[in-house]
Structure 1
Amino acid sequence: MLIDGFGRKHDYLRVSVTERCNFRCQYCMPEKPFSWVPKENLLSYEDLFKFIKASIDEGIKKVRITGGEPLLREGLEQFIKMIYDYKNDIDLALTTNGFLLPNAAQKLKDAGLKRINISLDSLNAATAAKIAQKDVLETVLEGIQAAADAGLKIKINCVPIKGINDVDLVEVLDFCKSKGYVVRFIEFMENNHAKDGAKGLNSDEIKAIIATKYPNFKMVPRDNSSPAQYYELEDGFQFGIIEPHKDDFCAACNRIRLTAEGFLIPCLYFEDAMSIKDAVRSNNIDEAVAILKKVLAGKPEKNKWSNKKDDNEISTRAFYQTGG
């Protein structure tokens, strides 16, 4: 069992396989040049798997593959199959922008993937293009349908940005309601890699927009294993809001993150990290597990987005390296 210094049990490992991305989303990395980490600096799938296997043995029950855009790394389905073959009842999931899903969804499902989170910030093609800085909507919708056809359980992620896609939130919710997909609106996490001037909506503002069409939704009891607070419409459909700015957001955090270069990150907000690269490359898995436990022991109690002295704090974390 993996326990941090505040008594929180950790059973969820997020693994970034690449920092590369084929979008330039305003809330993430709009100006990132094509100066990527050399391939030889990345952990191989075999080395990543060594650590994942050991983490599962220590109590990890959920593994999520992230990026960057994880589908940009070749052979991803083989990596997923390695994890599935080791423990086929693991909660195995992936987060993607959906652009490469039309040709990948069935392969991922066949490899053992169970669930998939797909970004959909707008159903307006021009707005989606403004956020991603390329024409993406039609292909992303094809990717969502391919995931559904493959039998993957789908969640939709939407990041509301003031003055850009805030007018599209009800349409995104209605789309998900019509398809039976879970939708979660994610408060923009202020970071210095985002586009200058980008401002997110807080949960109250998101709820106010949804209330223009659905005024009688209600809060449902919170599942502490979920980062989202869920709300239920009168017809029973539920939507979630991920609220990192709330003081209690970190209280039940069960997540640890591993980057493609082998850095273990205890908290999404802070730059703190320790590397397991040398340990796994030398097959010293006991040392890698010891580093994991040391990272957890030093994990902070909470992020600083809830600090109100200057509205909200700004993180220096590059989310394209950690998958959010």
Structure 2
Amino acid sequence: MLDQFGRDIRYLRVSVTDRCNLRCRYCMPEEGVEWVPHSAILSYEQIVRLVGAAAQLGVEKVRLTGGEPLVRKGLAELVREIKHIYGIRTVCLTTNGLLLADQLPALLEAGLDGVNLSLDTLDKAQFAALTRRDGLAQAMAGLEAALAAPGLTVKVNCVPSGENDSQLVPLAALARDRDLTVRFIELMPIGLGSSLTRRTEQEVLARLEEAFGPAIPCPQDTLSGPSRNVTFRGFQGKVGFISALSHQFCASCNRVRLTATGFLKTCLQYDQGVDLKPLLDSGADDHALLEAMRQAISHKPAHHHFDGAHEARDEGRNMNQIGG
């Protein structure tokens, strides 16, 4: 489906829970987290119905997120149901990896196409400091399990925050001998992320070229999102950059988000969109759902304004609550 600016919306990120087994400093507070009641969370049946409607509007790729999606029971069955929806080509998962090794066989059998593993450091002590949990060994076990799975697309997502500068080169080096993409995602000034230091694409790339030599550009895959990928001499994999602030890509944005509570969110910065759960709970028919989604997507904002002044409709929740 085309929005009012002619962007073809083909990618839906679906948050299945706001809960997480880590407390990453840019995402969640250490204590006092107020969880959404289970009664307010979309059921799997409701998620499947909404993804089916999105597919009718042209969505081809679905990514399951959280919080941490693997803390919700039965996720493999949701993957299976979504894979059976006509028009959906790809179903992927973003995870911190702690529970991945155990659940991956069922996810693969259900048809999972790809895994993005969030990993900001390879140092055990730093991992514990950044996530407030001791989980590096489990995350690395999840990564190795994913890399061993035939045909599974594997990406590592790192947020350079000024606190993991020493780890940028070691993380990128994961792609030297492995068929994966290590992506550096600029810190978004949303929620707790607003108080941390951001490292730009230019800063990170300079560090990597100092270590590995000149970057070699790679072809762009539009369905895979806004990552600008490069590689280095001798690398088997790739290094990517998702730089929403220093290299704004709003003009080519092809995604919308569905929160765990059923709000179709059309831009990460703004709280605008449409709340679909009341429609589902009231027994609305498919036509009503499609029309509500069509109207929200049509009015997707032209761009974010993270580098400007605060506006009344800016998002005020933390990333775990909006399925960032």
Instruction: Tell me whether the two structures share a fold, i.e. TM-score over 0.5.
Output: yes
* Deviation at residue 221 of structure 1 after TM alignment: 5.0
Figure out how many residues of one structure are paired with residues of the other and give that number.
Answer: 317
Contact 2:175 2:239 in 1 (8 A): no
* Shift, 1:177, TM fit: 2.2
What corresponds to 1:320 in structure 2?
Answer: 320
Match of 2:197 in 1: 199
Task: Give the stretch that moved more between structures: 241-250 or 107-116.
Answer: 241-250
1:301 matched to which residue of 2?
Answer: 302
Distance (whole Å) between structure 2 residues aligned to residue 246 and residue 222 of structure 1: 18
Q: TM-score, normalised by structure 2?
A: 0.92
Does 297-306 or 96-105 show the bigger shift?
A: 297-306
Map 1:78-227 → 2, pairs under 5 A: 78-87=77-86, 90-151=89-150, 152-162=152-162, 164-194=163-193, 197-220=195-218, 222-225=220-223, 226-227=225-226
- What's the TM-score once normalised by structure 1's chain length? 0.92
**2:240 aligns to what?**
240
Alpha-carbon offset, residue 272 of structure 1: 1.4
> Are 2:65 and 1:66 aligned?
yes
Tell me how far apart the structure 1 counterparts of residues 139 and 122 of structure 2 sit (CA, whole Å): 10
Q: Distance in 2 between matches of 1:147 and 1:214?
A: 25
Partner Cα separation in structure 2 for residue 317 and residue 180 of structure 1: 35
1:252 aligned partner: 252
Asked whether the equivalents of residues 99 and 140 of structure 1 are also in contact (C-alpha less than 8 Å), the reply is yes
Shift of 1:321: 2.1
- Name which of structure 1's ranges 208-217 and 198-207 shifts more when overlaid on structure 2: 208-217
Instruction: State the partner residue of 2:269.
Output: 269
Say if 2:9 and 2:59, in contact at 8 Å, map to a contact too.
yes
Q: Which amino acid aligns with 1:59?
A: G
Alignment-mate amino acid for residue 301 of structure 1:
A
Structure 2 CA distance, aligned partners of 1:227 and 1:317? 23
Cα displacement (A) at 1:14: 0.7
Question: Partners in 2 of 1:45 and 1:296 — Cα distance?
Answer: 22
* Alignment correspondent of 2:287: 286
Q: Judging changes above 3 Å, is the alpha-carbon distance between structure 1 residues 283 and 110 closer, same or farther for their aligned structure 2 residues?
A: farther
Shift of 1:161: 1.2
SS state at 1:231 partner: strand
Letter in 1 for 2:272: D
Structure 1 contact 193–316 (Cα < 8 Å) conserved: no
Q: Distance in 2 between matches of 1:212 and 1:180?
A: 22
- Offset, 1:29: 1.1
Q: 2:247, 2:122 → 1: CA distance?
A: 32
How well do the aligned residues superpose, as a CA RMSD in angstroms? Answer: 2.0
The superposition leaves residues 188-246 of structure 1 with CA deviations (integer Å, 9 ceiling, x where unpaired) of 0112333x741120111111111221231133454444211112212354211100003
Q: Please identify, of 292-301 and 14-23, the stretch whose mean Cα deviation from structure 2 is larger.
A: 292-301
1:112 offset after TM fit, Å? 1.1
AA aligned opposite 2:201: S
Q: Percent identity?
A: 35
**2:8 aligned with 1:35, yes or no?**
no
Q: 5+ unaligned residues in a row in structure 1: which ranges?
A: none
**Gaps spanning 5+ residues in structure 2: where?**
none
1:36-55 pair list within 5 angstroms: 36-55=35-54
Residue 82 of structure 1 aligns to a residue whose secondary structure is helix
SS of the residue aligned with 1:49? helix
In the alignment, is the contact (CA less than 8 A) between 2:190 and 2:315 conserved in 1? Answer: yes
